[in-house]
Structures are given as C-alpha cells and as structure tokens.
Amino acid sequence: MSGISRRIANRCLAAAGFLAGAAQANTSNGYNLPVGVTDLSVDIHHIHMQGFWWCVAIAVVVFGAMIFSLLKFRKSQGAVPDTTMVHSTKAEIIWTVIPVIILVIMAVPAAATLIKIEDTRNSELSIRVTGYQWKWQYQYMDAAEGVGYFSTLSDDSNEARQLNSGIDPQSVPNYLQSVDKPLVIPSGTKVRLLLTSQDVIHAWWVPDFGMKRDAIPGFVNEMWIRVAAGKEGFYRGQCAELCGRDHGFMPIVVEVKTPDDFKQWVGAQKADAKQAAFDSALHAQTAQVITR
C-alpha cells in the first residue's frame, strides 16, 4: 500500500509540474497528451496546449474575480450591497467581444491543422485496416501487396484478464497493450490507412500518432501517419469505440521500422506467405495421395 501511495504522491507532484509547464516526453507522461512521433501529433499537441493555456489564463481572471468577491464582499465582514449595480452595456459588450477574439485566435491554427489532417494525397504506402469483434486485420497494398494478417491480444494478457485469473496485471509485460503480430510500418513515409469493419463500429487509435478514426461497416475511412525518421520502435493503443463485450481487449501495436528494415520485413513476409502456400498445397496433395 505504501508503494501505491508513493506512486500516487509522485503522480500528484508530476501533475503539479504539468500545470506549471513541465517538460515534454514522446509518450504520455501519465497526465497529458503525448507529443507523439508524427507531424500531425506534434501539431495536435500544440493546439491542445494552446487551448489549455488560454483556459488557464481565462480561469485566472474569472476565478480570480469570483474568489475576490467571496473574500471581500462578505456579509459577516459588514459588506453593504450595491443594489444599483444591475446592468452595464459597456461591460457586457467587452465580455462578449473579448471571448470572440480569443476564439478566433485559437480557431486559426486548429483549422490549418485540420486541413493538413484531411489531405491524404500522395501517400507512399496504403494499408487496409479492418475491425472485427474483437481483433484487427491488416492487409498491405502497393509495394507490400499480398502481405496480410490478423492482430489479436497476446496470450499472456488474455490469460491475466480473465475474471479472477489470479495473475497480477503488473507482472504481465504491456498488459492489455500487446498483440501476437503488430502492424509494421516504415518511418519517414506517408502511410495511408483505409479503415473499415466487418461487424460493428470500432475506432483505430494510437495516441503517439495523434489520430483516431472510426472503422465503420460498409464504409471506408481514411487517415494518414508519417512517423518521423529516427523514431523507430513500438507504439501502443487500442480500440476506442465501444464494440461489445471485449471492447477493452482489442489492442493496437505498431512497430515502426526504418524503410530498409521494412523492405526486408516485407520480403520475409512474402517468402513466408509463399512457403505457407506451398506447404498447404503440398499438404493437400499428400492428403489426396493418402485418400487415393
């Protein structure tokens, strides 16, 4: 229990640091949006922080005025009400116009980023992402055409997450955020995801990529990501739209490789696929021979 309370105390200190303007990290620090590793996630984080600081500034003024009133104008300290103060057109115009100006200042970068987000042209690699209850299917197109597989919650997490499994989640590496086969993408490349679903609505979300989009049955949604070169590694997220009983158990893991490593990986996948096709054909032939 002392460990837990120490951790909570640390988090509180860290949160206080955040409010005071703390350093930024590449994955979430536990209380704020991650800056992330794509062009878009960096822009989105900027919009988020800008909005946050405007809110803080407004809060200082408004809460300041409220707290001042609560301290200064107390009946118990003999405050006499100024009952003539019931209306002021000037004040009301000021506090209508100033918020409008602040909103315009905030809206411009948000609109610019949105336009960038929606521009899915000139992608270098497309991947079909299909949601199922409760797993993801990835099918590569373009240069990696033919590579495809399902990605499901890893066995150790799946065992630990059963009701009263007796397994401590803290002992499972990346509990609920690890899969059997991660999505693999190259860094420094504009990757376009084509999202759809085979049953109900899901949503594909990796916080470090800054974006989330719904996978809707019968429709295809688009989003793009370009992970900055040098940011290779594993990134984790999960389904973000309620999709039934095991909604909490369909994680997303993306392994970002350098373009060269990615090419090699694609080659290996294709060879594996060929081998698997050969094996199954051989198996079928053998079976035929045996039955004959």
Partner 1 sequence: MAHASAEHAHDDHPDQPATGIKRWLFTTNHKDIGTMYLVFSLIMFFIGGAMAMVIRAELFKPGLQLVDPLFYNSMTTNHALVMIFGAVMPAFVGLANWMVPLQIGAPDMALPRMNNFSFWILPFAFTLMILTFFVPGGAAAGGWTLYPPLSIQGGDSFPMVIFAIHMMGISSIMGAINVIVTIVNMRAPGMTLLKMPLFCWTWLITAYLLIAVMPVLAGSVTMLLTDHFFKTSFFNAAGGGDPVMFQHIFWFFGHPEVYIMILPAFGIVSEILPTFSRKPLFGYDSMVYATASIAFLSFIVWAHHMFTVGMPLAAQLFFMLSTMLIAVPTGVKVFNWTATMWRGSLSFEPPMLFAIAFLFLFTIGGFSGVMLAFVPADFQYQDTYFVVAHFHYVLVPGAVFAIMAAVYYWLPKWTGHMYNMTLANWHFWLSTIFVNVLFFPQHFLGLAGMPRRIPDYAVQFADWNMVSSIGAFGFGLSQILFAIVVIQCARGGKKATAQVWDANPRGLEWTLPSPAPYHSFQSVPEVK
193-222 positions binding partner 1, by CB under 8 A:
199-201, 203, 205, 207, 210-214, 216-219, 221-222
Q: Distance between CA 59 and CA 62 in Å, rounded?
A: 5
How near is the Cβ of 30 to partner 1 at its closest, in Å?
5
Write the binding mask 254 to 273 for partner 1: x where contact by CB under 8 A, - elsewhere: --------------------
- Structure-block tokens of residue 182: 């991660």
Nearer to partner 1, 34 or 262 (CB): 34
By the rule CB under 8 A, 31 interacts with partner 1:
yes
Binding mask 68-87 for partner 1 (x = CB under 8 A): -xx--xxxx--xxxxx-xxx
Please name every residue paired with 184 in a beta bridge, in sequence order, or none if there are none.
255
Of 180, 247, 184, 190, give the one whose Cα is nearest residue 215. 247
Binds partner 1 (CB under 8 A): choice among 51, 146, 230, 267 = 51
Binding to partner 1 by residue 88, rule CB under 8 A?
yes
* Alpha-carbon distances of 279 from 145, 273, 276, rounded to whole Å: 21, 10, 5
CA angle centred on 68, ends 65 and 73, rounded to 5° = 120
Tokens of 209: 């990529």
Partners of residue 235 on adjacent β-strands: 254
What is the total count of residues that contact partner 1 (CB under 8 A)?
Answer: 102
Q: Which of residues 89-108 bind partner 1 (CB under 8 A)?
A: 91-92, 95-96, 99-100, 103, 106-107
State in angstroms the smallest separation of the CB of 64 from partner 1.
10
Q: Which of 17, 30, 146, 267 binds partner 1 (CB under 8 A)?
A: 30
What is the Cα–Cα distance from 87 to 106, expressed in whole angstroms? Answer: 30
Contact call for residue 128 and partner 1 (CB under 8 A): no
> Which helix (DSSP H) or strand (DSSP E) does residue 190 occupy?
none
